Amino acid sequence: MQVEREIVFPVEPDELWEALTDPERLEEWFANDVELDPHEGGEGIFRWENGEERRATVREAVPGEKLVLDWDDDGAVEFDLEPVPDGTRLHVRETSPEFSTALELRAFAFEWAAA
């Protein structure tokens, strides 16, 4: 099964890239504790208050354009960033949506728009 979301953020691609790859920024909207090396072959660990932990490997990383993470549960999430007149369009495709980053991004988008 695959989940897809597309959201336009009112920022430049580099700023959105930082929100997707900087551990401190990820802790603002995704997980409570994040370790991430956002380079091809880099590792990531995402921890939540409820004790859940997910690990990922960075399959592809093109700053400001594309990030692909392979989850340890055989799922994957792909972020494609595209400059548009209103900012940056983020297209998210995720497999194994029992835990969906794509859905978490919707809440993040609302928070960003309200700030």
CATH of domain 2-114: 3.30.530.20
Residues 6+ away with beta carbon under 8 Å from 58? 36, 37, 38, 39, 40, 41, 42, 43, 44, 67, 68, 69
Percent of all residues in the chain with a pLDDT value above 90, rounded to a whole number: 56
Q: Round to whole Å and give the CA distance between 19 and 49.
A: 20
Tokens of 68: 């692909």
Residues 6 or more apart from 108 whose CB is under 8 A from it?
19, 29, 30
The residue ranges of every structural domain in the chain are 2-114
Q: In this predicted model, what pLDDT tens digit does every residue of 66-105 receive, in sequence order?
A: 999 999 888 899 999 999 999 999 999 888 756 555 555 5
